[in-house]
């Protein structure tokens, strides 16, 4: 795998990306169910079937275009529907439901780190299946770390915005919630100007470097794979 064409890049990225956004949304719905809201369950959204969560623009079009351009991978799934009023303790439970998504991405990033470690232990330099799994593992660590940190930005309707709103006093929380219609345009503007990478880049680099260190993959090996995938 000295160089990858677009189809090969898609083959590497598609599983980590689909499961990153799918498990993220299911985590929101599952925690909401434990806290009193069964909306996601009743609408059939507590499933790991990616088809139920795909947003044609956010899941397919935008990540595909960014991947083809060799840019910052960015996307989203259809939000799991939650009726916040059904939660047993709405102010506390909004924060718990919101943080469940990014936490699931951290768990998945650790899972992909273990995939790399196991592949390196069992495979050889001539084992193409092992090499392919290492590539997928790198993609999995990167996409889940990006989604985790991106979603914790304190901008509604991102998870971090909802967590902050749950922690703020009522009037301040209401003022913050008024930003929700402008959240996506703000993110797109930050992405287009390069500011998004500068804001989350240092933390993404720290988390990815830490996980790669535990995976057993050398830093040079990671750098080579990462730039091959972009």
Find the domain containing 25 and state its range.
6-229
The torsion angles phi and psi of 164, rounded to 5 degrees, stand at -60, -40
Catalytic machinery residues: 25
Residue 76 has, within 13 A of its CA and on its CB side, a CA count of 11
Both structure tokens of 204? 């993404």
| 94 within some domain | yes
pLDDT recorded at residue 192: 83
Instruction: For residues 86-111, give the mean pLDDT.
Output: 95
What pTM value is reported for the model?
Answer: 0.89
Residue 67 — pLDDT band, cuts 50, 70, 90? low
Nearest in space to 135 (alpha carbons), one of 221, 20, 7? 221
| 26 within some domain | yes
How far apart are the C-alpha atoms of 26 and 34, rounded to whole Å?
Answer: 12
Distance from the first to the final alpha carbon of the chain: 14
Per the structure, the count of domains in the chain is 1
pLDDT recorded at residue 202: 95
Residue 217 has, within 13 A of its CA and on its CB side, a CA count of 34
Longest dimension (CA), the chain: 62
| 191 within some domain | yes
| 1 within some domain | no
Residue 71 — pLDDT band, cuts 50, 70, 90? low
Instruction: For residues 50-63, give the mean pLDDT.
Output: 74
Both structure tokens of 32? 């909401």
| 56 within some domain | yes
How far apart are the C-alpha atoms of 214 and 117, rounded to whole Å?
Answer: 8
120-152 burial code (b ≥16 CB/10 A, e <16) = beebeeeeeebbbbbbbbbbbbbbbbbbbbbbb
Residue 196 has, within 13 A of its CA and on its CB side, a CA count of 22
The torsion angles phi and psi of 140, rounded to 5 degrees, stand at -65, -45
What's the DSSP call for residue 157?
T
| 79 within some domain | yes
Residue 59 — pLDDT band, cuts 50, 70, 90? low
Both structure tokens of 63? 């990540």
Pick the more confident residue, 158 or 127: 158
155-168 per-position pLDDT tens digit: 998 999 999 999 99
176-223 per-position pLDDT tens digit: 989 888 988 898 898 888 898 899 999 999 999 999 999 999 999 999
């Amino acid at each position: 795998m000295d160089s990858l064409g677009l189809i090969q890049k898609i083959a590497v990225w598609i599983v980590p990306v689909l499961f990153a956004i799918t498990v993220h949304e299911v985590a929101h719905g599952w925690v909401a169910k434990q806290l009193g809201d069964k909306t996601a369950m009743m609408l059939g959204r507590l499933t790991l079937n990616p088809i139920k969560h795909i947003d044609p623009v956010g899941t397919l079009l935008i990540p595909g275009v960014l991947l083809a351009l060799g840019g910052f991978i960015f996307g989203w799934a259809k939000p799991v529907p939650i009726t916040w009023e059904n939660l047993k303790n709405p102010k506390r439970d909004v924060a718990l439901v919101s943080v469940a998504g990014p936490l699931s991405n951290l768990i998945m990033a650790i899972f992909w780190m273990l995939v790399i470690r196991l592949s390196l232990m069992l495979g050889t330099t001539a084992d193409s299946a092992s090499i392919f799994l290492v590539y997928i593992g790198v993609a999995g660590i990167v996409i889940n770390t990006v989604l985790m940190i991106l979603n914790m930005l304190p901008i509604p309707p991102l998870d971090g915005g909802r967590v902050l709103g749950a922690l703020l006093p009522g009037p301040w929380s209401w003022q913050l919630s008024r930003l929700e219609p402008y959240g996506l345009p703000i993110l797109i503007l930050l992405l287009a100007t390069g500011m998004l990478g500068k804001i989350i880049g240092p933390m993404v680099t720290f988390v990815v470097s830490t996980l790669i260190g535990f995976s057993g993959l050398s830093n040079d090996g990671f750098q080579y794979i990462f730039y091959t995938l972009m």
